[in-house]
Structure 1
Amino acid sequence: MENVNLTNHFLIAMPGMVDPNFNGTLTYICDHSDQGALGVVVNRPIDLDLSTLFEQIGLSLPEGLHGEIVYFGGPVQTERGFVLHTPPLTFSSTLTVNDAVSLTTSKDVLEAVSQGAGPEKFIVSLGYAGWSAGQLEDELKQNAWLSVAADPQVIFDLAPEERLPAAMKLLGIDFASLSDEAGHA
């Protein structure tokens, strides 16, 4: 388990997840190394839309994006924006996860969106999920999470409530059939 790299994977919170920050969540892992892991929850909308967020930071929002939602990305740095988006655009603080997904934390991505020159597909989250070295591996051993290789269409093309079941389908599992009891062979 120590050598598994979960970059570009989904973490599916098991039904027994007791942490309210992650219960019922689907988290996209943007970076995983021996130093720890960084991910963004992609299925938990918050009571804030892009129009309000852009107004708060002094930017205008193109007409077609009014009403788009903002997500709870995780419990770390919840006052900071994390934008998952499609390449090829990069900004001053962009982590290119792969050829289909990038993560940007700098305001210039939102400025580009405001000017109609932003990424083709994106979601905006406040906060991120972070794990220290070995922490995620320990949680996986405790059956807190299932993992599956990510499909960017789940992030960018599905409604938030459809994302967790779609990720489960990638594993060939019906979420309703999962038990909150862990078992070990």
Structure 2
Amino acid sequence: MAQRILAIFAVVALAGVLVFAFFDDATHKPLAPQGDMLGMDSGESFRDYTARAEASLADAPADQPAFALLTFTQPLAPAEAADVLEPLGRVNAMIIALASPFDLPEPIAGETREDVFQRQLDRIAHSLSGVGNVPVPEGIDAVVAYDTGTALREVAADPAIITAEVLPPDAAWGRFGVRPVSAPGAPGE
């Protein structure tokens, strides 16, 4: 009889632990960004953001790769963006208007970055078809890229890029947030 009570108690305890684990935030919800952010702070002027971004670019270690938000002076077509970003080792995401970043794969054999950009724009256009009178984006406003400070400074010198903000080298993909940059002349600036 004691063994039967002990077995029932063990089953109830195990069920309680499983229910607790299911509702625990550590196992139930995705992890939040760990504090690093790219983009403009709430209420920050474009001038202040540009100064902060320039300082982060200047401080980026020459030989260590880091993530950077590269914002274009105007939306670029896939071919234009691919040309500007060609020297970079990795482009992780593209940003259109004020939307969240769209993750990007690296081009496979026989493809270029232009193909990757165009495929993502085509997917967005397909997802918007039939929604109504929603404008379909045709250009890329910004990207999140990953390369050394030297490579990022080289690309940031291109006149097509208005700002380049770099995170510390220890920032990990998926562990930082990205906020939009409102450049002069853009809605909201």
Give TM-score, length-normalised by structure 2.
0.30
Higher strand share: 1
By relative contact order (CA 8 Å, sep 6+), the higher-ranking structure is 2
Q: Which has the larger radius of gyration?
A: 2
TM-score for both structures, normalised by structure 1? 0.30
More helix by share: 2
